[in-house]
Amino acid sequence: MHTGILLLIFGFLTSSLAYENLALRKPAHQEYQYTGLDASLTEANNAVDGLKSDLSVWGGQCVISENNKQTATWWVNLTSILSIHHVTIYYRTGNAIWGLSNGFTLRFLGFSLYISNTTDKTQGTLCFKDSTYASNTIPPVVNVTCPTHGQYVIYYNERLPGFTYPSDYSTNAFNELCEVEVYGCPVPGFYGSTCSIPCPDVNCRYCHIETGICQGCKPGYQGHRCELACDYGFYGQNCALNCISTCDGCNNINGVCDSGCQSGWKGVDCSETCENRAYGKSCNSTCGHCLANSVCNHVNGVCSTGCDAGYQGDVCKEHCDMGKYGIGCSKTCGVCLNNETCYHINGTCLRGCAPGYKGIECTDVCDKGTFGFECNDTCGQCTDQNDCHHINGTCVTGCEAGYIGHLCKTACVHGTYGIDCNHTCGNCHNQDNCDHVNGTCLSGCNPGYIGDICKTRCNFGSYGLNCKKVCGHCLDEQTCDHTNGTCLNGCDPGYFGDLCITGK
């Protein structure tokens, strides 16, 4: 082997002794494998088998790609994201002297090296792009320092149509790698030449392998030194993932809804809505009195169909205002006892109606002729029964003949009768009381009086009980006393006695 090549390799080896070859025997892949030989002689894993003593196709230690291709891609999967310091590439030499006379130099020219967290090189870091080497200057072993982190180390070369390449570039693209060594720390979170110093920032996932400066936070953290948890509603690597919208925030690391769910949701991942007439935070609230027992909104408890009778408000948990009841609290209470409010659902007066009212809702006045509590009192002798006040029984337009008082239930006192008892009884027999309504003397008149009310004296020439007696021979035809028949002025000649009925 050429002396310069040996020196180059020796120099790289001394700097890599402190780091571990992370690519050794890890899974590898190439875009187009050469098919003209046994697969074991050309497969992608040959570049990470740790063997590089035979750099020809026949040694089975190199990757051989297909001829006549415009692109050539090979990558190794480190199986996890690790801290990388540098990559050493051993290209196929065919075990011949390297230089202008070696045709494989043309195939190596123009290559690129990427480190990525996926197999898509465009999502990773471009560590090296050859734009200066020529066939007489490119070494067979290239060391690329690239202190970064990644899971995939990707070798790429291209010879695309429509592009003009330097004259010493091969016509087609190849990835004929005999060994690719990726040196770095085998455990994340450490740095330094011995990979023994913990990254200084506690939430740092990947720090610079040489300086310890944080280059990537652990999932759930952000900030220059990874000192900040993800903003509310975000989690994961680079805080790039959105919490489930039904979470009340979420765990900044793994997105678990460990702070609970948004109102209206439940379950470990907050994917279930509240049920069984529950709503709100942790589904701890119960729906109000929604119309027809319908289910309320699981988030805010709103009854979209309205409230059942007796309730109001968005969530239908408020009783109707005092004095109102029914659907929409649109009805007005009747006249309940002691001015109490009615039952907010159906309007019932729970302790009954105030005097003068009846019915379940106490909205009906007492029937004609009744008044008072439960309409159990009967109106008195009002002039017009329609004028009896339904509450207190007062006869508004006055009493019928023979009665007095506000209720017109008191008969005229002894010796009076008629409207307002303003009339005096006549000369009833034996001073009996007359009828308090019309003044009629029920037992008849005293002697000397006739008529129903006994206020008319006997006619001229008569006297006594029922005026059935005829006056005697009174002087000058003067009438006798209408009561006892006495001739007040004496008798005619020839007659004597008080009644002047006795002759000489």
Position 486 pLDDT exceeds 50: yes
Give tens-digit pLDDT for 418-451: 999 999 998 998 888 899 999 999 889 999 899 9
Query: Can you tell me the distance from the alpha carbon of 244 to that of 234, in angstroms, rounded to the nearest whole number?
Result: 9
| Residue 227 Cα distances to 118, 219, 221, angstroms | 27, 12, 7
Domains along the chain? 3-186 (2.60.120.260), 320-365 (no CATH), 472-504 (no CATH)
pLDDT at 163 over 60: yes
What residues are paired with 188 via a beta bridge? Answer: none
Is pLDDT at 300 greater than 70 in this prediction?
A: yes
Distance CA(169)–CA(178), nearest Å, equals 20
E strands in 252-347: 265-266, 272-273, 278-279, 285-286, 311-312, 318-319, 324-325, 331-332
pLDDT at 7 over 70: no
Structure tokens at 204: 């740092």
Residues near 163 by Cβ (< 8 Å), separated by ≥ 6? none
Average of pLDDT values for 45-54? 97
Question: b/e per residue, 201-221, with b = 16+ CB within 10 A?
Answer: bebbbbbbbeebebbbbbbbb
User: Once rounded to an integer, what is the mean pLDDT over residues 234-262?
Assistant: 92
Q: Are 29 and 23 in contact (CB under 8 A)?
A: no
Pair 149, 13: CB distance under 8 Å: no
The Cα 232–Cα 251 span in angstroms is 9
Residues contacting residue 243 through CB under 8 Å, at least 6 positions apart:
233, 234, 235, 249, 250, 255, 257
Strand partners, 141: 90
pLDDT at 8: 36
pTM > 0.75: no
Specify whether the CB–CB gap between 279 and 300 falls below 8 A: yes
| Terminal CA-CA length for the chain | 206
Name the amino acid, one letter, at 358.
Answer: K
The amino acid at residue 422 is: N
Whether the per-residue pLDDT at 4 is higher than 60: the answer is no
pLDDT mean over 206-224: 92
- Tell me which DSSP letter residue 479 carries: P
Phi-psi sector, 135: left (phi>0), alpha (psi -120 to 50), beta = alpha
Which one, of 15, 35, 31, 16, lies nearest residue 177 by Cα?
31
Q: Is the pLDDT of residue 14 over 60?
A: no
Read off the pLDDT band of 477 (50, 70, 90): low
Query: What letter represents residue 476's amino acid?
Result: D
User: pLDDT-derived band of residue 293, with 50, 70 and 90 as boundaries?
Assistant: confident
Question: Residue 12 has what pLDDT?
Answer: 38
Lowest-confidence pick of 140-144, 363-367, 499-503? 499-503
Q: Which residue has the higher pLDDT, 180 or 248?
A: 180
Q: Which residues contact 500 (CB under 8 A, 6 or more apart)?
A: 472, 473, 474, 475, 480, 487, 490, 491, 492
